[in-house]
Structure formats: structure tokens, C-alpha cells
Amino acid sequence: MKPTKISTKIKIIGAALVLSILSVIAITIYLNENNIKDALIVNIAGKERMLTQKISKNIFYLYHNENIDFSELDNAVEEFIYNINSLKDGNKLQGIPSAPTDTIAQQISKVLILWNSFHKNVISFKDLLVDRKENEKLLKMRVSTIYNTNNILLQEVDNLVTMYTKHTESKTNYIKKFQYGGAIVLFILIIYSLLQLKIIELHAQEFIDYSKKLASFDDVNNLELITIDAEGEIVEVNDSMNCFITKVNSAMEHSNEAIAQSLQASSKLEEITDEFDTILNDITNSSEISKELNISEDIVIESTEELINSTKKLQHLKDKLDNLLTQCKL
């Protein structure tokens, strides 16, 4: 299996960090916006509780005073109806969703049933109050009924407020848990990133140490290979450097062998030349033989010169390689 490249790891870690941060920010903003709406809903539900008391107090006030003014009572009734319908079906204008759970929806329906009965008594109270002298007894009974039913309605509205409050708190706890989870994920990613960077730093230091060691070598004929236990691009660099070192060592070895062989051949040819010279001195009777030997001597001398030239060229190659290694040290 091909090892994962370091650049790929860095890209994956970076993408994971960015994605995690953006996810945490986006979901937190979304949930916070919902919490603002939930706070508005709890406020409306709490206002419904206040309106039931306001309606009852206004009825008692009208009952005990001769001044008949239903404006405050009617406003409270209309506001209560508007709010309870908004909680039940939602309100796009205010950004209020419908009942979030079945339990809350059932509680709203229960409140509406009690409200409808309570509202009928309020309407009856208003009609009786207009002809108070003729309906005093019925009016008193209606006020008593409103008082009794108001306590029941108030209790159920209070239960509704409690349900909304608990629902909001549960969402707030969910936000906290999500934020804690996101923070843990980010912490793990950061720690993993630091570990990977530390590993990369260690491998880079190994290369630096090896380069210093390479520069300090006195014998450049047999350079040591670098061995780094790494992965990805570092493995590729390690293999490339070792390939270069292997080629340099091979070239140096072949050049030394060639120089040694050429020197040996040159030495042998010199011996042969000396032998020919001895033979030439001994042979003086035959001009034909002398002529042939002179030709042979010329051939040997020419071969010797070519070998000497080859030796110089090989020596020049070795000098070039030595200069290359010297420049690598600098």
C-alpha cells in the first residue's frame, strides 16, 4: 500500500479543521437564532398568563363600578386570542413556528378549550352588565363563574409556559453539548496536527544532520547511504538522494579501476618496449628483420601513447567527480 503523502495529510487536516470550525459556527448561529425565537415564544406564553389575570381583574373592576368601558377588556381578550393562535399555528410575521412538540400542541388545545368557555362567560358578562338592574342576580353568578374558571385557565396556561421553558432549556443544553463536542474535535485535530508537524521537523533535522556529516567526509570514494524511517515525500527524497550517492560511488569505483588497469597496461607495454629494444640491439645481421621490428616498435609506442592519453582522460574524469563532491560539501 502506497504511504499517504505529507502534503495530502496536511490538506486533509486543514480541510477538517476549516470544516469543523465552520460547522460549529454555522450550527451555533442557527441554534442561537432558534433560541431567540424560543425566548420570544416563552415571553408570549408568559404574557397569556398575565392577560388572563388582567381580564379577570378588569371584570371585577367593571362589576364594582358604574362606569362601563370595555376597551381595556376587549384589547386584553383580542391580544390573548391572537397570541394563543400564534402559538398553536405559528406566526410568519413574528417568526414564530407552530407547536414544536405533540405535548405542547395538546396543552395548547387544552388551554383553548378552557378559553372558549371562559370567553363565553366574558361575553355574557358584558351583555348582562349593560342591563345590570334587570340582571343583577345573573351577573353575580357570571362573575363567580369567571372567577372560578379563571383559576383553572391560569393554571393550564402556567403549565404551558413551563413546557415551553423546559423545551427551550433542553435546546440550550443541546447547544452546549454540541459546542463541547466541537471543541473536543478541534482539540484532537490540533493535537494531531502538532504531532505531524513534529514528525516532519524530526525528519528534516535528520536530513540536516546527514548533510553536515556528508560535508565532513574525508574519503569521498565510498559515501554512506542515508536511512530515514519516514513516509510520503520524505521517502521519495531519501530514495533520490541514495540513488545519486550510489551512482557517485559506482562512478568513483569504476574510474579508480580503469585508472589502475590503464597504469598496469602502460607498465606492461613499457616492459615489452624494453624487451624489443634489447632484441633490436642483438639483431644486426638482417636489415629486413630490423625493418619489421622497427614497424612493430612504432606500433607499440603508438599504443603506449594512446593508453597514456586514456589514462589522462580517466584521471581528468576522476578529478571532475572529486570537484563535484567538493562543491557539494561547500
Residues 6+ apart with CB under 8 A from 44: 83, 86, 87, 96
In angstroms, what CA-CA distances link 135 with 4, 131, 140? 92, 6, 9
pTM of the predicted model as reported, rounded to 2 decimal places: 0.56
Domains and CATH numbers, the chain: 6-199 (1.20.120.1730), 233-329 (1.10.287)
SS3 91: strand
Contact 225, 239 (CB under 8 A): no
Report the pLDDT value the prediction gives residue 2, as an integer from 0 to 100: 47
pLDDT tier at 1, thresholds 50, 70, 90: very low
Q: Cell 612493430 identifies what position?
A: 296
pLDDT tier at 97, thresholds 50, 70, 90: confident
pLDDT tier at 161, thresholds 50, 70, 90: very high
Report the pLDDT value the prediction gives residue 107, as an integer from 0 to 100: 94
Q: What is the pLDDT of residues 170-190, one digit of tens each?
A: 888 877 787 788 788 888 888
Question: Using CA atoms, how far apart are residues 79 and 115, in angstroms rounded to an integer?
Answer: 13
Mean pLDDT of all residues belonging to the chain:
76
Is the pLDDT at 191 greater than 80, yes or no?
yes
How many other C-beta atoms can be found within 10 angstroms of the C-beta atom of residue 163?
A: 20
Q: Each residue of 176-189: b (16+ CB within 10 Å) or e?
A: eeeeeebeebeeeb
Q: What is the pLDDT of residues 240-284, one digit of tens each?
A: 666 666 766 666 666 666 666 666 666 666 666 666 566 556 655
pLDDT tier at 137, thresholds 50, 70, 90: confident
Q: What is the pLDDT of residues 14-47, one digit of tens each?
A: 787 788 788 778 877 877 777 778 888 889 999 9
Report the pLDDT value the prediction gives residue 51, as an integer from 0 to 100: 93
Contact 73, 122 (CB under 8 A): yes
Torsion angle, CA of 205/209/210/212, rounded to 10 degrees?
140
pLDDT tier at 81, thresholds 50, 70, 90: very high
Residue 92 φ/ψ, nearest 5 degrees: -65, -35
Q: What is the pLDDT of residues 205-224, one digit of tens each?
A: 776 776 666 666 655 555 56
Contact 186, 21 (CB under 8 A): yes
**Lowest pLDDT segment from 54-63, 65-74, 187-196, 237-246:** 237-246
Report the pLDDT value the prediction gives residue 25, as an integer from 0 to 100: 81
SS3 54: helix
Q: When comparing pLDDT for 56 and 33, which is higher?
A: 56
Report the pLDDT value the prediction gives residue 297, as an integer from 0 to 100: 60
Report the pLDDT value the prediction gives residue 160, as an integer from 0 to 100: 93
